[in-house]
Amino acid sequence: MNTKLNIWRLTPPQILVLGFAVIILIGAGLLTLPFASATGQSLSFIDALFTSVSATTVTGLIVVDTGSTFTTFGHIVIISLIQVGGLGFMTMATLVAFVFRKRITLKERLVLQEALNQGSMEGIVRLIRKVIIYSLTIEAIAAVIFTIRFSFDFGFAKGLYFGIWHAVSMFNNAGFDLFGTVDSPFVSLTGYVGDIVVNFVAIMLIILGGIGFIVISDMMDLRKKKKLSLNSKVVLSMSGLLLVVGALGIFIFEFTNIRTLGSLEFGSKMLSSFFQSAATRSAGPNTVDISALRQASQFLMIILMFIGASPGSTGGGIKVTTFMILISAIITMIRGKEDIVVFRYRLAKDRILKAITLTMMSLFLVIIVTMILSTTQDSSFIKILFEVTSAFGTVGLTMGLTPELTAFGKVLISITMFAGRLGTVTLAYALQPKQEKELFRYPEGKITIG
């Protein structure tokens, strides 16, 4: 009897989980090589694994400073993991298939459908082609602008290297950067807090990466189709609303905080507020010290990180569409209506149940991991909650806890990042046993609520 594992007998969620796990292990192995480290000594496997998980899940949490710890080889490994993790390994595999003119099989189309969170396979290969073209075009334009700007600070050669590297990192909402040095590690973009060019380009990359490839494709076809899909309307409206609410909240809470926005000019305060609001949507870079923010700002950022970006994007969280469904359900219940209507469309019951399931599973994950870390880490509760939510939302912002994590804490945060990138529902589908059709239904019962 043949007992060999046939990967194509696995379900699409199982293939996604296995694929990301393999990429993470390969990345960790490469980062442990001596010539990946600036000191010439091998990085510990746990730190290499954490870095690989963070890069592949496009999170940005780091236990060692990226710029000063790794060599150019290490940097290339990390940015490659970010690109593969952001676009999805199946998207990259499809790119290779396009290059070699290979046919995309039915099973591969099913996995691509799962990876992009699509309802059907119709036009999936065409969508993947658009994803690749749009992504590379956006990254190339941003890389040119970044190169010109960074050339003034580092010269053309290093400016070009930094320009390309950070364009890929920002668009994929990864949060990794190379600005740290041995003397000043973990600085992120704090040196560019008032720089209009760097801030504007970074914000645009974060937003474009966060709204998702499906929405970008829909916007590009707007002239032909004459209207946006319901999904795109929800994503754009909620993303815009959360961006503005987050920016106003941070601006108000931090206006007089001398350690963050208090010492900046009015224009820089506004710019920094919008940057940090955009960054909480799954991006990770920061222009102000996150640990110096007031607790009101930190808690607001926790909420925004938990909501996250959009379906089919490089971001994590429960997604803005899920949040919109939950808010709409509350409003509908309060008004005594039966159907949940969004932009004059009635939502199906299964969408509502999936939104509730996803939110509750995600909430349970964050609560359980936070409780466990609270017993194993010597740190404040809000600091731990911030770290866990950042990991789940694949954001990468931290209040300084990441480098202080114990080995157990690193493993737990790595698992949280992995679950956040794939999605708790996808992970549950991948781990569940084969479903059997129910042969009967139980009688309906009633429970008193409220």
Q: For each of the chain's 450 residues, which pLDDT tens digit applies?
A: 444 445 556 666 677 778 888 899 999 999 999 999 999 999 999 999 999 999 999 899 999 999 999 999 999 999 999 998 887 655 655 555 555 555 666 555 665 555 555 555 556 667 777 778 888 899 999 999 999 999 999 999 999 999 999 999 999 888 899 998 888 889 999 999 989 999 999 999 999 988 887 888 888 888 787 888 888 899 999 999 999 999 999 999 999 999 999 999 999 999 999 999 999 988 888 999 999 999 999 999 999 999 998 887 777 889 999 999 999 999 988 888 888 888 888 888 888 888 898 899 899 999 999 999 999 998 999 999 999 999 999 999 999 999 999 999 999 999 999 888 877 656 555 555 555 666 667 787 777 666
**Which helix (H) or strand (E) segment is 296 a member of?**
helix 295-307
CA distance 214 to 128: 10
CA distance 194 to 235: 29
CA distance 33 to 201: 34
CA distance 160 to 142: 11
Q: Which pLDDT does position 146 carry in this prediction?
A: 97
**What residues does 341 pair with on adjacent strands?**
346
CA dihedral 15, 18, 19, 20 (to 10 degrees): 130
**Closest Cα to residue 356, out of 308, 284, 425?**
425
Tokens at residue 322, please?
Answer: 């899920």
Q: Which pLDDT does position 3 carry in this prediction?
A: 43
Q: Which pLDDT does position 103 carry in this prediction?
A: 63
CA dihedral 303, 119, 93, 224 (to 10 degrees): -100
Q: Which pLDDT does position 79 carry in this prediction?
A: 95
Phi and psi torsions of 220, nearest 5° = -65, -30
**Which helix (H) or strand (E) segment is 243 a member of?**
helix 230-254
Cβ-contact 142, 171 below 8 angstroms: yes
Residue labelled with tokens 């400073």: 65
DSSP-assigned letter for residue 40: S
CA distance 230 to 255: 37
CA 220 and chain centroid, separation = 23
Other beta carbons within 10 angstroms of residue 137's beta carbon come to 10
Q: Which pLDDT does position 17 carry in this prediction?
A: 79
CA distances to 236, 239, 326, 361, 392 from 356, rounded to whole Å, are 21, 20, 7, 9, 17
Residue labelled with tokens 């409780």: 371
Q: Which pLDDT does position 303 carry in this prediction?
A: 96
